[in-house]
Amino acid sequence: MSTPPKLLVFAGSTRLASFNRKLAHTAAELARAAGADVTHIELADFDIPIYNADLEARGTPPDVMKLKQIMFEHPAWIICSPEYNGSYTALLKNTIDWVSSPVKSDPAWHEGFKSFTGKVVGVLSASPGALGGLRSQSHLVPLLLNAQCWVAPKAFALGRAGEAFDADNQLLNEAHRKNVQAVIDQVLFASARLAA
C-alpha cells in the first residue's frame, strides 16, 4: 500500500472570520477525503515578528525554525491567499520572507529556499468582490516561482465569499467545491509524479 501524499494547507490571514481561513478548512477536508495526509496550520499559532535582518542576526525565532521544518516536510501545499489592496497580505509575505531566509549559523538551513524548492503549490483565494482575490494570486505566483516552487496551473478564486459559506463554514455551492477539489487533485497528481 502506497504512502498517502503529504499536503500542507494554510491561509494568509489570522482574522477570525476570514473567508480564506474557511476556504483552507474546506480544502483540508476535501484533501483528506481524497486520501491525502493533511497538515492544516494557522499562521496565528506561530510567533513570527516582522522580518528584520538585525533581529535575525541575533537568532532566527524558534517558530520560524518550526515553520521551516513543517514546510520542508510537505511536498505539496495549498495556500489560500486573501487580497489586500490588489495583492497578497503582509502576513503571507512576511512568512515567506522569514522561511526563505538562510540560517547561516546552521548547516542544515544555510540554503534559504530549502523549504520551498520543488514544492507543488496550489493557490486558492476568496474575497467579497466578484474577482475572488484573483489579483492576489497574480502577485503571489511569481513570488512562489522565484522561491523555486512548482505552481499548479489550475487555481480557483471564490468571488462573493460572504454568501458562499453556510453556518458551519461549509461551501454552499457544489460547483465551488468541485473547483477547490480540482486544484487539490492537480497538486496531489503533480506532487506524486515529481516524487516518482
Instruction: Say if 131 falls within a structural domain.
Output: yes
Give the span between the Cα atoms of 118 and 149, in whole angstroms: 5
Instruction: Say if 87 falls within a structural domain.
Output: yes
Position 67, amino acid: L
Instruction: Say if 1 falls within a structural domain.
Output: no
Q: Give the number of other CB atoms < 10 A from CB of residue 53.
A: 7
Give the span between the Cα atoms of 20 and 137, in whole angstroms: 13
Instruction: Say if 130 falls within a structural domain.
Output: yes
Predicted TM-score of the model (pTM) = 0.96
Instruction: Say if 157 falls within a structural domain.
Output: yes
Q: What is the pLDDT along the chain (196 residues), one digit of tens a residue?
A: 478 899 999 999 999 999 999 999 999 999 999 999 999 999 999 999 999 999 999 999 999 999 999 999 999 999 999 999 999 999 999 999 999 999 998 999 999 999 999 999 999 999 999 999 999 999 999 999 999 999 999 999 999 999 999 999 999 999 999 999 999 999 999 999 998 7
- 117, 193, 192, 120: which is closest to 154 by C-alpha? 120
Per-residue model confidence (pLDDT) at position 195: 86
SS3 62: helix
Instruction: Say if 103 falls within a structural domain.
Output: yes
Give the span between the Cα atoms of 103 and 167, in whole angstroms: 44
Instruction: Say if 83 falls within a structural domain.
Output: yes
Q: Indicate the number of domains in the chain.
A: 1
Domain of 23, CATH number, reads 3.40.50.360
Which domain range does residue 36 map to?
6-195
